[in-house]
Amino acid sequence: MAVVEVANLHKRYGGTVGVDDVSFSVDEGEIFGILGPNGAGKTTTVECVTGLRRPDRGVVTVLGLDPRRDRAELRQRVGVQLQQSRLQEKITVAEALALYSSYYRRPADWRHLMEALGLADKRRTRFGQLSGGQQQRLSIALALVGSPTIAVLDELTTGLDPQARRDTWDLIEQVRAGGVTVVLVTHFMDEAERLCDRLALIDSGRVVALDTPAGLIAAARREQRVRFSPSAALDDRLLIDLSEVTDVRRAGSQVIVTGTGNLLHAVTSVLARNRIVAHDLRVEQASLDDAFVALTGRRLDP
């Protein structure tokens, strides 16, 4: 069942088009990623979804509600963590959580949330004294303190160190395990690949692809590459004759085989039959990065 539906969303600011034509739907219980480079229109899209902006054209429905008309009800049921939103520098963790939980009809137990997010020992610490990762966790806690059905999280791990990023990812998986649908906005490929069930790839205000991370990768590169150093002389024709192989090249002592289908199995079978051992065998698989290049013709992180 779709809990968020966006159809032909269009939004311009003055002369520039923020979002040109964006359509997607988010199913209940999934982690849906909105992925794209900076300035692609991701934030504008979620701002329209959360009712912070009015779209120029297009239809947005969230939990059957119109984000602008039914904003009061929407705010009760959708938790939002916005990019670069701080808190009062001198408010403590416990004060912020207690205050924000009082805003909701059916709040979560904020003490429990504070424990779950590893902030219990920081309860009396002021926001300005928290580390970047702790501030981010508090932000997530505030997005969850109203027991939302949907959590929208924008640029969750920007500015965090690698350990804090991994901890945050674990946290998001726990949130989803708790039954919350997560809409995740990111410009990090690894984050999208690791967390998202499905994702919309946005570039210049348009959805260029909408699929699972694996599906996007497969679509981007059907070809795979196998590299190895043969233990004995190897006739290239043994490999070229295979139906899976499209090309065989050599780089020094290494053989590079390009092909499709179950390439690795085909190559290793031939080598085994000829009693050749493949040293330094490596299979190069496409990543989401390659998918982005294939779909847009440029790299995500310049």
Question: Which residues of the chain form contacts with other proteins (CB under 8 A)?
Answer: 50, 52, 72, 75-76, 78-80, 82, 84-88, 90-91, 95, 99-100, 102-105, 142, 146
Q: To the nearest whole angstrom, how small is the minimum distance from the Cβ of residue 109 to other proteins?
A: 17
Report the residue number, 81 or 224, with the smaller CB distance to other proteins: 81
* Tally of CA atoms within 13 A in the half-sphere of 34 that contains its CB: 31
Q: To the nearest whole angstrom, how small is the minimum distance from the Cβ of residue 123 to other proteins?
A: 15
Report the residue number, 105 or 275, with the smaller CB distance to other proteins: 105
Check if the beta carbon of residue 255 is closer than 8 Å to that of residue 287. no
Q: To the nearest whole angstrom, how small is the minimum distance from the Cβ of residue 282 to other proteins?
A: 46
Report the residue number, 80 or 217, with the smaller CB distance to other proteins: 80
Q: To the nearest whole angstrom, how small is the minimum distance from the Cβ of residue 80 to other proteins?
A: 4
SS3 (DSSP) at 20: strand
Report the residue number, 119 or 286, with the smaller CB distance to other proteins: 119
Dist. CA 199–CA 221, nearest whole Å: 17
Check if the beta carbon of residue 192 is closer than 8 Å to that of residue 186. yes
Closest residue by Cα to residue 151 from 167, 134, 135, 174:
174
Check if the beta carbon of residue 180 is closer than 8 Å to that of residue 150. yes
Report the residue number, 13 or 103, with the smaller CB distance to other proteins: 103
Q: Residue 126 gets which letter from DSSP?
A: B
Closest residue by Cα to residue 271 from 252, 289, 290, 245:
245
Q: Residue 65 gets which letter from DSSP?
A: B
Report the residue number, 56 or 73, with the smaller CB distance to other proteins: 73
Q: To the nearest whole angstrom, how small is the minimum distance from the Cβ of residue 149 to other proteins?
A: 14
Q: To the nearest whole angstrom, how small is the minimum distance from the Cβ of residue 155 to other proteins?
A: 12
Q: To the nearest whole angstrom, how small is the minimum distance from the Cβ of residue 53 to other proteins?
A: 11
Q: DSSP letter string over 242-299?
A: STTEEEEEEETTEEEEEE-SSHHHHHHHHHHHTT--EEEEEEE---HHHHHHHHHSS-
Report the residue number, 119 or 142, with the smaller CB distance to other proteins: 142
Dist. CA 62–CA 223, nearest whole Å: 39
